[in-house]
Every structure is written in structure tokens, then in C-alpha cells.
Amino acid sequence: MPALFVTGTGTDIGKTYVSCALIRALKTRGAVVDAFKPVVSGFDPKDAAGSDPARLAAALGDPGGVFRIAPRRYLAPLSPNIAARLEGETLVLDDMVIDAMARAAEVRDGLLLVEGAGGVMSPLTDGETNLDMIATVGAPVLLVAGSYLGTISHVLTALVALRAANARVAAVVMSQSLDAPDLNQTAQALIPFLQGAPLFLAPRGESWDAGALADHLLTDLRAP
């Protein structure tokens, strides 16, 4: 089980929150786990401690690992390709894929969480999206969604795109949104449309225990 690609139905819906909780749960179970963000935008080096890579590093128990986890960091809070261009760089999908696969090989018998930037169809380069990277890497997917009004449509649209690219969806996580309809009620409405993909709920708050999700993934990703 070398890699799991963590993507979302959009931006700022809880990917890093879910990834950090999953890392803590996996470590509690004795699993070897690491994290990798191929690219991050909106990264302020003056406030690196408040960034998503820093949160992942803290969950791993490696507070100095921010730059190892996120080798491509750009200041502007825009899509990565635009943020990179503003700093005179051009992102190349093959470079990010090679880096992710090399990092996965380092983890060996453990699990590398590869966290994308934005949603499934968010641009990574000038002509490619997270979906293109998911398809190229070939890793199973953990799809993270919010619980806001309209999330069911966004989840189902993301699943259509992922399945059309032959990506295997290991699980869907609904991360509770602020001022949203009831989390459980929304989940129950979504389940009949998931075609068997398991759904896990992530209530707000750092106390959320991702143990059930970790147990599922440890079994699912080791299955032949």
C-alpha cells in the first residue's frame, strides 16, 4: 500500500484536517506513514508554521519537515500554475509525478499520503489537473467533501470524473462545514448514490478520531 491520493470536491473543505487525523490514527496503530504535497500555493514563508504542510509535519511528529513535505511552495493564493508563473516558474506534471513515486518508494511497507491542491479538477499545470496526476500515479483516492448545502452534487460530480479516469475510490470523507445542514442527515441522503464507496464522517474539532477510517484503509489498501 505505497500511496493514497487525498483530493477534494473543492478548495478549503478539510483535506488537510482529514489527512492529519488519519496520520495520527495510523501512527497509533503502528503503521508507517508519511505525507507529500506536490505543490502548495498561498504559502507565506514568514508564516510557515501556519501552513498546511506544517500541520501535516506536526501530525507526523516532524515539525521541521515542512520543506520536505512540500518541495514546491508559492506565495500567491491562486491555482498552483498561476502562482508558479508569478514567480517565474512553470509546473510540469511529470516532475510532480516522479517526486511522488520516489517518495512512495521510500515509505516501502508504509503509506504515503499524497495531498493534492484544491479539488479533483483544480489545475496543477497550464494544461493538467489533479485528476491527471491521480490517473498518472495510479494510486487509490480518498475523496474529501464538505457538508454544506450542495455538497451531494459536488461529491457525485467528482466521483463521475474519478471513475471515468479509472481511479479507485478507497473512501469518501464528509468533513463538517460551518453553518451547514445536519451532518448525519446529509450523509444519509448521499449514501444511496455512492455505488458502494464507503463514507466516513469527520465532525469539526481536532478531537475527531479517524480510527475507523484508518482501519478501513489498512485493510482495503492491503487487499490484493
Q: Which residues pair with 73 in a beta bridge?
A: 40
Three-state DSSP class for residue 123:
strand
At 86, which helix (H) or strand (E)? helix 80-86
Q: Identify the active-site residue in 15, 27, 37, 46.
A: 37
| Pairwise CA distance, residues 52 & 48, whole Å | 9
Burial group, residue 200, by CB count within 10 angstroms (0-12, 13-18, 19+) = buried
State yes or no: is 37 an active-site residue: yes
Nearest Cα to 129, choosing from 118, 113, 138, 140?
118
Burial group, residue 64, by CB count within 10 angstroms (0-12, 13-18, 19+) = exposed
Strands (E), the chain: 3-8, 33-36, 111-119, 141-145, 169-175, 199-202
CB 142 within 8 A of CB 5: yes
Task: Collect all residues with Cβ–Cβ distance below 8 Å to 216 and sequence separation of at least 6.
Answer: 170, 171, 198, 200
Task: Collect all residues with Cβ–Cβ distance below 8 Å to 206 and sequence separation of at least 6.
Answer: 21
The residues carrying an active-site annotation are 37
